[in-house]
Structure 1
Amino acid sequence: MATPNLPLRNIHATESIPWWPLAPGWWLLIAATILVATAVWWWRRAQAQRRARVRGYFDQELERFEAPAAQVGMMSELLRRAARLHQPQAAHLQGEEWLAVLNRGLKDRPFRDELGALILDGGFRRDVAVADRDRLRDAVERRFMRWVRNI
């Protein structure tokens, strides 16, 4: 049993734990964070380089031809190639079905009306305007890049 005359002592709080040096768990967390950040940076850099190569290929193929009609024909061919890689059954479609595949997933649905008719038969026309070719090129490049980025 306890005796009532025991001397009481003051309770002293221990010193706070210093923040330096860090505990091993913090070092592991820092190393994992650096490793993940490096991997993400490397992956994004590789993707950007790949997109640049694909865009360069797209531009190189179009620069082979000077006539706007020939460039429109090449754009159509590039879309067919990308379609074969992305959706093999879509490369054999014609007319409105082909335009529906081209418009799928694009908010502004650029391949309708003039541009749709231009992509379908522009390679066979003699009177393709440069402004129409440029508008078509923007739409084709967006579609082409969207298809090949997933490969």
Structure 2
Amino acid sequence: MMPDDPLSQLRDIHLPQTGGFWPPAPGWWVLAVALLIALVILVWAVRRRHSQNRWLRLAKAELASLERTAVKEPQWFTQLNALLKRVARARYPEENPEAQSGEQWAACLLRHLPDDRMAQQPVVDALVNSAWQPQPTAEPAQAIEFARTWLEAQKC
């Protein structure tokens, strides 16, 4: 080889170095922003639904407490009716359920049941009337079962 040969001074072909992992390409930035927005919306929706159904969780807890102390006395049926009225007031404030009593209140309870309204009519009438009768005609177990069914029908 000749020292003055210009071709001998050339190096072999070499590839350029890779760019590394940072900064990411613009597509990754767009994907990260989209995922972040989706995560924020998901958290917001879950929290909103959780807070909207708070009244239902509280009502179910109070119903469980009433179930543990179930007795066939007017005072117990009064407490159960009061619980159902609070739920109805939270769910249907335009109907003014706290001012209803007797047949009007029973009709309100039945109106907001999705299925088998007529099958529940005797239980509802007994539940409503047992709050003021000296000897209640309703059975606490049936009243609890109706209340549980009614509460489930009130979900948002």
- Classify the TM-score, shorter chain: 0.5 to 0.7
Displacement of 1:65: 4.5
**2:135 aligned partner:** 126
Counterpart in the other structure of 1:36: 41
Match in the other structure for 1:68: 72
Task: State the Cα deviation string for residues 72-96 of structure 1 (Å, max 9, x = none).
Answer: 2321222233344433633323332
Say yes or no: does 1:139 pair with 2:139: no
Correspondence 1:104 to 2:108: no
Does the residue aligned with 1:67 lie in a helix, a strand or coil? coil
Structure 2 matches for 1:8-87, cutoff 5 A?
21=25, 23=27, 24-46=29-51, 51-60=56-65, 62=66, 65-69=69-73, 70-85=75-90, 86-87=92-93
Distance 1:50 1:78 in 2: 11
Of the structure 1 ranges 41-50 and 91-100, higher mean CA displacement relative to structure 2 is found in: 41-50
For structure 1, the residue ranges without an aligned partner over 5 or more in a row are 1-19
Coordinate RMSD, CA, aligned = 3.3
TM-score under structure 1 normalisation?
Answer: 0.60
Taking structure 2 as the reference length, what is the TM-score of the superposition? 0.58
Query: Tell me, what secondary structure is at the counterpart of 2:112?
Result: coil
The equivalent of 2:3 in structure 1 is none
C-alpha distance in structure 1 between counterparts of 2:42 and 2:127, whole Å? 43
Q: How big is each residue's C-alpha offset from its partner over 1:81-130, in whole Å with a ceiling of 9 and x where there is no partner?
A: 33444336333233322211111121222641x2122122213253656x
How many residues of Structure 1 are paired with residues of Structure 2 in the alignment?
126
For 1:90 and 1:128, the matched residues in 2 are separated by: 23
